[in-house]
Amino acid sequence: MKLWGGRFTKSTNKLMDDFQSSIGFDYRLYQQDIEGSIAHATMLGEQGIIPKEDAALICKELQNILADIENGTVTFSTEAEDIHMNIETLLTERIGDAGKRLHTGRSRNDQVALDIRMYLRKECDAIHDLLKNLVLTLLDIAEKNTDTIMPGYTHLQKAQPITLAHHTLAYVQMFMRDMDRIRDCRKRMNLSPLGSGALAGTTYPLNRERTAQLLGFDGVTQNSLDGVSDRDFCIELASDCSIIMMHLSRYCEELILWSSNEFGFIELDDAFATGSSIMPQKKNPDAAELIRGKTGRVYGDLTALLTLMKSLPLAYNKDMQEDKEAIFDAVDTVKNCLEIFAKMISSAVFHTENMSRGAEGGFTNATDAADYLVKKGLPFRDAHEVLGKLVLYCLQNNKTLSQLSMCEYKTLSPLFEEDIYQAISMKTCIDSRHITGAPAPAESLRVMKQVRDQLAKN
C-alpha cells in the first residue's frame, strides 16, 4: 500500500510505478532529506504539535538511517517512488506510529523544494571553490608570463601585440564574474520553503523561522504557492553553469588552435591528449574538445528547464519531477569540466618563442607606427592612411615595418625619424600600453594583486 493510497481502490500499474519513480536519480538528496526531516521533527516537538518523545525518537532513527545509507546497507525501492517516501517508509518500519507523525504539517511539495535548495546550495559552494582554484591556477601562469609577447587577435587576424599574461588575465576576469554569479545565485536560493505545505501552508502552528535557522537558511519564502512551485533557482544555476561552460569553451577553442602545427603556441600534457588509431603521429587535444562539446550539453539542460517551466500553472505539477536530472547533469558536468580544465592548463607547456615570433608577423605594430605620427602632429586619420600604404608596400615587397629603410619611410611621410624603429619594437608596443587594464607588465602585476586580494576575501 502506498503511503498516499487511502483514496484508491486498486494498485498502480507496474509500468506506472516504474514510469513515475524518481528514486533512480533523486536518491542523491538523501542527506538533505534527512536533515530537513530532523529539523521539521525538532520543530514539531518544540511547538507541541507532536509529543517531544516522538520527535526525539524520529530524529535519532533518522540519524541511524543516514548512517546506514552511507554504509551502503540500505536498498531503495522504486515502489516507494522517491527518496522522501523511501526514507519515511524506512522510518515507519523501524519505529512504528512515531514515524507516521513526521509528515505532520508537511507535503512532499515543500519537502522536495527544500531538499533541492539545500542540495544546490552545497553544489554552488563546490562550483565556487573549483572556479577559485582555476583562477589561482591562471594567476600562476600569468605571473610567469608578464613579458611573454604574443599576438592579439580580432576576427582571428593578428591585430596588436599583447602578453600571455594579459591574455590569461582576460579569462581570469570572466571566471571572477562567474564566481560572483554563483554567490548571487546561492544567496537567492537560500530561503526555506518548508511550511508552504502542498500549496496553502497549514493550520498547524509551525515555526518556519525555526526550521530555517536549524538548516542554515537566511529566511523563509513569503508565499506558499511560490514556495512549492518556484524553480527559478534551478534555472538561474543552470544559466550560470552555461556561462561558465561558454567561457571554458572559448578558452578551449583557443587552446585547440594554439596546439596545432600552424600556431605551435602550446603543447598539452600527454595526460590530457589522445592519439589516433591509424595515424601514429597524432596528438589530439581531446580534453579541450570534450569540454567544448559538453558546453552544448549544459545549454541543453538549461533549455530543458526553461521549457519545463514555461507553461506550468500554479502550484506544483508532476512535470517538475523532471527538473532534477537536468540540473544535476548541468552541475555534474560543469564541476567535472572545471576540474579537468585546471589540471590541463596547469600542465601545458607554452612555446613562448613561437608566440613572440607570431607577434612579429602580421604588422601588429602598425597602430603604434600610426600613433608615432600622431605624436609628431599628424591627424590620426591621415596617419592611418600613411600606415595603410606602408603595409601595402611591405606586402608587395615581402618586408615588415621593422625592415623598411629610413628612405622608404620618408617616401610616405617626412615625419619619420630614426626613433621609429624603437617606437615600433614589440617591447615598446607592450610597455607603452600602461593605462588601466592594458597589457604593460606593471599593469598586469597590479591586476594580479587586486584579484588575489579579492580571492582572499571570498
Catalytic positions are 155, 276
CA-CA-CA-CA torsion sign (304, 310, 315, 318):
negative
Three-state DSSP state, 350: strand
Which residue, among 172, 21, 44, has the nearest Cα to 101 in the 3D structure?
A: 44
Pairing relationship of beta strands 219-220 and 191-192 according to DSSP bridges: parallel
Helix (H) or strand (E) holding 458: none
Single-letter amino acid code for the residue at 327? I
Q: How far apart are CA 78 and CA 12, in angstroms?
A: 12
Buried residues in 207-241 as b, exposed as e (16+ CB within 10 A): bbebbbbbbebeebbeebebbbbbbebbbbbbbbb
Three-state DSSP state, 411: helix
C-alpha cell at 377: 602632429
Which residue, among 129, 121, 150, 347, has the nearest Cα to 216 in the 3D structure?
A: 121
Helix (H) or strand (E) holding 206: none
Three-state DSSP state, 438: coil
